[in-house]
Amino acid sequence: MIIIVTGTDTGVGKTVTTAALAVRSGPGTVVVKPAQTGIGTDEPDIRAVAHLAGCEVTELTSLEDPLAPDTAARLRGIEIPPVRAHSARIRELARTYDTVIVEGSGGLLVRLDTEGATLLDLAADLARDHPVQVYVVTRIGLGTLNHTELTVNALRSRNLEPAGLVLGAVPAELGLAERCNRTELPRVTGVPIVAALPDGAGALTPENFRAQLESWLGGSGVERGGDFSFSADLLDQPSQ
């Protein structure tokens, strides 16, 4: 199984979602970051995943500046691998591991190489010969409906039906927009909300992160291999 974690924007909670999926998927899981930018300014996403989930991780490209991968590479005049090379590497890993989880950079259409290819291109290519699940991590606040529907429609344009929406950072108190959007997101996209991760989950210790995980994902009736279930009352009682 190959799982793709994308988001409607940067900073929406993809890394924490990726770690949650890695914990749920269990042994035999590897997490891949095709392109990491901003090296030296923030903790690399892959290191945060390894810390929270305790799984194997690998980073295919790293760039200094906190920009889109193609922009960061062009700024420095650096040659970086094309997305087709990432596809080949991920296929190799899929022959060895039960589950390969791929965390994107920024949103779905951020360019991962200097040829213009995106995470959407990577997902569509991998789906030609592997089972692929795509999770869309989104915000719950004002503005999320437009961003989420655009992302979902882009996936469907390549015959990729999202496996579910993940609310990446649910605040302890919900305002009017948040209360409405928990209903509106699945209505306007036709995609279910399958998990709600509380704001600040990434700052928990690995032990607490893993212990609270089931409450965020629903817990009952969830099969291994990355599938989430969801209980709507998680949004009313986010974990502290």
- Could you say which of 4, 17, 22, 33 is catalytic? 33
200 is in an annotated binding site: yes
Determine the residue type at 78. I
Q: In the structure encoding, which two tokens stand for residue 239, read together?
A: 């974990």
* Cα-trace Rg, the chain: 17
198 is in an annotated binding site: yes
18 is in an annotated binding site: no
121 is in an annotated binding site: no
11 is in an annotated binding site: yes
**How buried is residue 153: exposed, middle or buried, by Cβ count under 10 Å (0-12/13-18/19+)?**
exposed
Q: In the structure encoding, which two tokens stand for residue 17, read together?
A: 């979602």
14 is in an annotated binding site: yes
Strand 29-33 versus strand 56-59 pairing type: parallel
Cα end-to-end span (Å), the chain: 32
45 is in an annotated binding site: yes
57 is in an annotated binding site: no
116 is in an annotated binding site: no
* 151, 190 contact by CB (below 8 A): no
49 is in an annotated binding site: no
Q: Which of the 8 DSSP states describes residue 113? A: S
Active site residue 33: yes
15 is in an annotated binding site: yes
17 is in an annotated binding site: no
107 is in an annotated binding site: no
Cα 108–chain centre separation: 10
From residue 228, alpha-carbon distances to 86, 176, 192 in Å are 26, 26, 10
10 is in an annotated binding site: no
2-15 burial: b if 16+ Cβ within 10 Å, else e: bbbbbbbbeebbbb
* Helices within 41-175 (DSSP H only): 45-53, 69-76, 83-96, 119-126, 144-156
Residues comprising the binding site? 11-16, 37, 45, 103-106, 198-200
Annotated catalytic sites, by residue?
A: 33
Residues comprising the binding site for ATP? 11-16, 45, 103-106, 198-200
Residues comprising the binding site for Mg(2+)? 15, 45, 103
